[in-house]
Chain A
Amino acid sequence: MKKPNSWQQWLLIGLGLALVALILLVPLVLIFTRALAGGWDLLVQNLAEDYMQHALMLTILVAIATVPINLVFGICLAWCVTRYDFRGRRLLSTLIDIPYAVSPVVAGLCYLVIYGVEGFIGQWFYERDIQLMFAWPGIIMVTVFVTAPYVARILIPTMQSQGAEEETAALTLGANGWQIFRHVTLPNIKWALLYGVVVTNARAVGEFGAVSVVSGTIMNQTLTLPLLVEQLNNDYKTAAAFTAAALLACMALLTLFLKTFMEWRQRQALAKAAAA
């Protein structure tokens, strides 16, 4: 990396900065300006509305339920794919990419078809008075689908580059599986893992397409914050819509900050491992 030393290079940088300002910074500024346009009191009042509180709680619930599930699964898949060599290994790591490629609306519909009242699993639950679709369990289920790949996708390259030597050494020293994972693997993948959690959380909080299919958009019941943004905008309650948007934008900014921090920590850890 070097200091730019000719006007062409400065031109490129200027063009890039202008684009970043137009595409990324101005929208952020707009969100907070619009949220604060009616004054601080209106903002607080909008935040205190029942529907806003409810949407916030539901969104947090979805994130809390989704992240641990995909955390456990991501670790298992990454361990399985990077620590053993077996038939179908490539297939497993291709299958996990499917949620990236499938449109969220299609994903929502898939779940609706099987877990809806008319679907063969949904019916079984319905007869036992459990409604999955158009209720919060459905929202969690589709969110799990949409966010499934992230932890695994972040862990796999990290664990691949670290190799299994340390784990094998621990094994020959008599450690059992859990001890190996707890004392050897986990410290090595700590930052990548946290990074995966942050990314999964951001996607879980922000998911729109899949959730809107299975939510049924019932005010005070199945509206998550991203859906609330759309609903309020459709009702011409622009100030309230931007209030919800500002909450989500704060979450996004926090995500960016944590992500940058963890990438930095992970690079440090890798550098230390390389030096040792």
Chain B
Amino acid sequence: MSLPIPRFFHQAPTLPGFGLSFGISTLYLSLVILLPISALLLYVSDLTWMEYWRAISDPRVVASYGVTLRAALYSSLAALLIGLLLAWIITRYDFPGRRLVDALVDLPFALPTSVAGLTLAFLLIPEGWIGQWLGFKVSYAFPGIVVAMTFTSLPFVVRTVQPVLLELGSELEEAAHTLGASRLQTFWHVILPMLVPALITGGAQSFVRSLGEFGAVVMIAGNMPFQTEVSSLMIFVRLSEFDYPAAAAIASVVLLASLLLLFTLQVVQSRVLRWQRKK
């Protein structure tokens, strides 16, 4: 006699513990992640459209969207370039200090963001160790935000590109080389196309991370209204004015934007992978 397989399973479970692990996982996800997020959206839905629109279209808030998006874009590009270079030298060349570089790449991830912001700010003030060599203002100005965001998102690029480069090996390069391709041609036509999915993932992750970055940015940005205020800080400003509805309204915009990015990224990733496999 065979029991009917419930349609919920694509394949009947053999190992015990499904109920326990599935139960704990879904309970936890609902309580810790879904409930608070829906509570925020519910809270925002109490506002009238007028109030909502006024909160999210306040000129100061709109300026903060611009600052955040621009800084996140520049810093993701910078993190992509630097990250690709670091991942390349770590995986390809054997040089003194390679292991140290490999370990240090995770520093921005392990170092609390407020410490990172404080330190970068002190390095980049006009009389700071690095700031004295620069001809323009970095700390407490827009470039400071870009530096802070680049710092915090650097590991994301390196750690997504690195495994792909490792797996690629150097056979393809050598093959291209024996066929007469120059190093630059090999990189441009052979290696870079293979790296596209990893670069998209790494770039998108650093972009999302930069959009939400708070600790490092507030310590270095100077936080001037209309100039160096990021959206996360605007939420904070509204909170300290005890204007919870406005804070929640701005937060809902940031939240929906980042969730949209997350899901778009997943779709793009699977598309790119399929496209690459077909090629």
Contact = CB atoms under 8 A, between A and B. Distances in A.
B200 interface: no
Given A3-B93, A226-B215, A241 B33 contact: no
A229 interface: yes
A176 B112 CA distance: 42
A217 B20 CA distance: 39
A111 interface: yes
Contact of A171 (B14, B111, B212): B14
Interface centre among A30, A96, A99, A180 (most CB of B within 10 A): A30
Interface string A228-246: 0110010000000110010
Interface residues of A, number: 98
Contact of B154 (A23, A83, A110, A113): A23
A247 to B, nearest CB: 9
Contact of A84 (B13, B34, B170): B13
Given A95-B33, A106-B255, A85 B86 contact: no
Contacts of A12: 85, 88-89, 93
B269 to A, nearest CB: 11
Interface residues on B, range: 35 or more
- The secondary structure that dominates the A interface is helix
B244 interface: yes
A58 interface: no
Nearest to B35: A114
B248 A26 contact: no
The residue in A23, A86, A171 that gathers the most chain B C-beta atoms within 10 A of its C-beta is: A23
A76 B24 contact: yes
Contacts of B236: 105, 212-213
Nearest to A244: B115
Contacts of B49: none
Interface string A29-48: 01100100000000000000
A165 to B, nearest CB: 11
Contacts of A196: none
Nearest to A149: B33
A258 B178 CA distance: 42
B63 interface: no
9 contacts: A1-B91, A12-B88, A85-B9, A95-B33, A180-B16, A202-B109, A206-B110, A230-B219, A256-B103
Interface of A: 1-4, 8-9, 12-13, 15-17, 19-20, 22-28, 30-31, 34, 72-73, 76-77, 79-81, 83-87, 92, 94-107, 109-115, 118-119, 144-145, 148, 164, 167-168, 171, 176-177, 180-181, 199, 202, 205-209, 212-213, 225-227, 229-230, 233, 241-242, 245, 248-249, 251-253, 255-257, 259-260
